[in-house]
Structures are given as structure tokens and as C-alpha cells.
Amino acid sequence: MSKIVVDNLRKTYGDTVALDNISFEVPAGEFVIILGVSGSGKSTLLRCMSALTEPTAGQVLIDGEPMTSTKPEVAMIFQQHNIIGDMSAYSNALSGGINRSSFLESVLQLQDNDEKQQALEALDTVGLLEEAEQKSRRMSGGQQQRVGIARALTQEPEVLLADEPVASLDPGSAQDVMGYLNRAADERDLTTFISLHQVNIARKYGQRFIGLHDGEKVFDGYREDLTLDVIDEIYGDIDTEGMFVSHGENESNRGSTDNQTSPNRGATL
């Protein structure tokens, strides 16, 4: 478990301000959803947190240590999970240890038994132990994303960052993947940040929410504070009506007992 401090983070690309003075602190073990429309800065924030992108100003601290280069304690999951289709789910999961073993050891699968055990445990966490030997390309999009999560877990991270991990999935698979991310975070005490644009899924699984709009932080709070007015502020002119659906089919809602709070303005989020 790691505490995260984001301190006055700013990132510009030429004249484009992707992030502007973003600050927040997240205690170890929290499950945080980053909300915002396309272009609001979600990916840039996660990339700065994982040190894949260098901030223009400000810093990210993990347990007090500046995040100036990538480290195995911080794992990143992408929308396009980048797993290798011709490899089995197990081999893909095992390759997550590449950050701990040498490249050659990893390619030749010469990792020690501990790492092999970790890969199997990671597949178990995402419900794919039975499919360990299956070629990844024969799996559904949701299963492939779960292999991607298993690979990140084999890295034995303390912080898990996931950039739009369910954006390309159908609603059922998206819920499955979010459920497994929840479970992984719970079982392994991970501090977790997931960027999403689907508000209903975010509300169902998130514990804390950070809202970005045009690179600025416009919200930082918990489910009860995520009202429709706040959603309007995060999403601006975009019609968000379709994002508010009633749900309740999954009870694995980490850190909350209130799955279907009715916020102000009478809508069900």
C-alpha cells in the first residue's frame, strides 16, 4: 500500500495545457476513479503518475519519494492491453515479472518459482486460472483485459493505474473487468486510480472521484458528493442523461454501502 501525493502538477504540449496545477493526496489503499471527457487530461495525469510522461512542473510523490522514473511498485494498465495474442494467458501474466527479472530471463521464462506462482495467483485473482493455458487471442476482449490486469499484478505493484481499461468493452464485460479490478485492489491492498468516462460504472465501483475538465481539477470527493451539478461541471455541455442508469447487479462495491444514492435534482446515478 502506498500513499500518493500529486503536488501542483502541470503539463503542457506546446500551447496545449493538458494539466494545470493539479494537487491531491490519496491515502494508501483508496480506490479512485478519474472522470472527464476525452481530452480533459486523464491519460496525462496517469502517465505523469507512472513517470511515463515528465511533468512540465510539479511532482508526484509515492510514499514521499518523487516519481521521477518508472518503478515496479507502480503498474499501469492500458485500454489496449498490449498482451501477446500468440502467448497463453499464463505466459502473458508471467511477463509482468519483466520489471523484476532480467529481460532475457523473462523472454525465456526462466523466472523463479515465486514469480511463476505469482502469475498463477494473479490469474486466479482475475478469474482466469482455468484458462491459464489458453492462447490469449482466442479470448474475449474482457478476458484479454483481465489477462492484462493479471500481468500488472505479477509485477507485484503497490499502486495500480488503469487508463480507460473498459472503454472498448461491451457493458457486461466492462462490469466484469471493473469487478475484478475491485477485487484485485481489495485482496492486495492496492492504491488504485482508474480513468473512466462512464459515470454509471464509475459510481458503482469508485470510492473516491477526481473530476477533470480542460486539464483542471473541478472535483475531488466521495460518492455522496458526486451530484448531478458536479457531473455537469465535469462534463460541461455534453449530454450526460444516458450515463445515469439505475443499477445494483454487482454488490462488490468497495468502500461503500450506498450503491444507489439518490443525489440532488432527483435523478438516480
Ligand X SMILES: Nc1ncnc2c1ncn2[C@@H]1O[C@H](COP(=O)(O)OP(=O)(O)OP(=O)(O)O)[C@@H](O)[C@H]1O
Residues near ligand X, by CB under 6 A: 13, 16, 18, 36, 38-44, 164
C-beta of 41 vs 165, nearer to ligand X? 41
C-beta of 18 vs 185, nearer to ligand X? 18
C-beta of 98 vs 181, nearer to ligand X? 181
Q: Which amino acid is at 127?
A: G
C-beta of 15 vs 249, nearer to ligand X? 15
C-beta of 208 vs 213, nearer to ligand X? 213
Shortest reach from residue 156's CB to ligand X, in Å: 27
Shortest reach from residue 36's CB to ligand X, in Å: 5
C-beta of 90 vs 235, nearer to ligand X? 235
Shortest reach from residue 50's CB to ligand X, in Å: 13
Shortest reach from residue 204's CB to ligand X, in Å: 20
Shortest reach from residue 166's CB to ligand X, in Å: 12
C-beta of 190 vs 210, nearer to ligand X? 210
Dihedral angle sign, alpha carbons of residues 165, 29, 209, 124: positive
**Sheet of strand 57-62, all strands in order from the earlier edge strand to the far edge:** 16-26, 4-13, 57-62, 65-66
User: What is the C-alpha to C-alpha distance for residues 12 and 263, in angstroms, rounded to an integer?
Assistant: 35
**Which is nearest to 132 in space by CA: 147, 111, 142, 154?**
147
User: What is the C-alpha to C-alpha distance for residues 211 and 36, in angstroms, rounded to an integer?
Assistant: 6
Q: Which residues of 32-43 are buried (b: 16+ CB within 10 A; e: fewer)?
A: bbbbbbeebbbb
Q: Within a 13 Å sphere around the CA of 99, how many CA atoms are in the beta-carbon half?
A: 17
Shortest reach from residue 10's CB to ligand X, in Å: 12
Backbone phi, psi, residue 192, to 5° = -125, 135
- Rg, Å, the chain Cα set: 18
Shortest reach from residue 241's CB to ligand X, in Å: 20
